[in-house]
Structure 1
Amino acid sequence: MAHNPQQLLPHLVEQALDLCSADSAGISVLDGPVFRWTALHGKLEVFDGETTPRHDSPCGVCLDQEGALLMRNPERVYDWIRKANITVPEVLLVPLPIDGGQSLGTLWVVAKEGDEFNAGHMETLTHLAAFAGTALRMLKADEKLKQALEEQETLTREMNHRISNIFAINNSILGLSARLAESKDDLVEVLRGRFGALADAHGLVRRSFHPSIKPQGVDLAQLVEKILKPYFVPTLKGQSIQLGENTTNSMALMLHELATNAVKYGALSVEGGELHIDWKCKDDQLILNWQEDRGPTVVQPTRSGFGSKLIANTLRSLQGTINYDWSAEGLRAQLIVPLKNLER
């Protein structure tokens, strides 16, 4: 039995059929709100794999009273039996014992005619049900082990994927930063800020490695507040928008670059400077506005630095765009990204 618990169930049902001289026999396994018929033998074998209601069936009554149940002509009480054109002169059911006294199903036999089953049949069925319950417990343990191994494999693949992404992002940042840095100190400062933004974004992502659980997104407002907190508390206005993990990293880098520029040259470089950020969804697109006010006079740069290139490259991967307005009152920037790409 230890090696083939799955094969034991049909054998036990067959034994119940023969020892009780029954017309049909089977096992009903509790599966949420229903029982699932399995290992059926006899005339009802054609219904193997079908389901019956948990709270409107002889099996349900058997579990509720936690003991053997003898019932005659249940089709008179339960419409689903009658509608299936099943005639049950007499049925004897016993619960399948599982750990802690809980029962997850029943073993049952149907008589050829009425008044066939007696106390001896009940005792026989109870012994067989004990073995069937052990087999079911072993099967459930195997299922849990298999699920754990699958989750571990999923975790390994996911971690490999994320590590590869981190290396790719860091390699890109290092390459471009090194080419544009004026000194080693400048390079260290730039990299510290950019890697810090990635770390902040990484900390917001709520991960689950269970196959059936969808990863939770990061709210855009939460991300904006997290990235800009070291510099300024901006005025935010916009609806709740969930970002996928990759998009969270991308948005973090872009917001960090805009904030760094504002601290060095824009509204956040002077006392009294203001920053307003708002966003909305329109025509299946996210439109995010970055508006600086009360800062020094803004002059459009003559060449694109790393920050501008990083923002452009990041938006390109999201099929988005950015428009700059180098107004004398302060920089205005508008990011536009298709909503469908925010879930990545």
Structure 2
Amino acid sequence: MGEGGSAADETWTLANFSDTIHRGGVGLWAWSPERRLAKLDALCRVFWDTTGAVVSIDELFARVNAEDRDGMVRDWMASATDPQHYSFDFRIGDGADARWISARGVGGEAGRVGVWIHAIFMDVTERKRAEEAERLLTAELAHRVSNFFTVARALTSIVARDATSMPNLAEDLSRRFGILHEATVLATRPQGLDQGDVRLRDLAERILAPYRDGAVIDIAIEDVAVVAPGTVNDYAMILHELATNSAKYGALSGGGNLRLRGGMANGLLRLAWDESPSRAAAPRADGTGFGSRLLRQTIERSLGGHFDRTIDADGLRFEMTVPAG
């Protein structure tokens, strides 16, 4: 409050109020159960990607993510009669660009003005994405710890078959575990360590090095297939996941054959991983576990590409295509 002024001099207008809550990601809305209409302020219209200030609630429901729609509609309709404070979250749209919204208010007559029940929408997208990233990180850590012990057992079995003495066994295992550690560090290195483009062939050679003596590995990736600094982690993660699965179930568990092909064409990088089953291979998983979700997250969301994977009695064939750069 300025000198000589008073609280009465500082008028609090509706525009002041709207601007303040909008900056906080909060929009005002109201709806009429009888008319099945919703009134949206300017920010709510941005949330719903509509220009209409008054729209059908069925039109809004149609824009809700299919996975959230039934629960959201149930909670929304309950607010017409339930005189309790409510809060329910849902997504508008699909995919990585979906917007998370939290609807909050008081239901029943307590929230009603005439035929309209008033409430707020809050944009909680950033919080939801942070929670999702934390859940993914926790699941990935558990997945990696489990995979490491599985791969350690597989490598020990491979080395033990050909070891001629205990010192030879220990030396070979130490070397392989050292390379495996390097590959794991590479797959999770901080982005700040990226120093420039990396040839995909060099990346594959480094990650597959621990398995060289246990399987026939043929890597033929063109020199033009390079990985940009910001995506080195993504490609290392993909190769590391494929190698780990192969060490569990496929060629890299000992005695199998792996062919890796890659190149660039028409602005796209293509990578094909083709392996025959190992004599010692365990029954292969169905491709619906966390490792598969991690591949999908990395290839489709992070790199904007797609992949196909076929598993049958002849082995595994994996092909991915991503935009170069």
Provide the TM-score with structure 2 as the length reference.
0.42
Higher gyration radius (CA): 1
Provide the TM-score with structure 1 as the length reference.
0.40
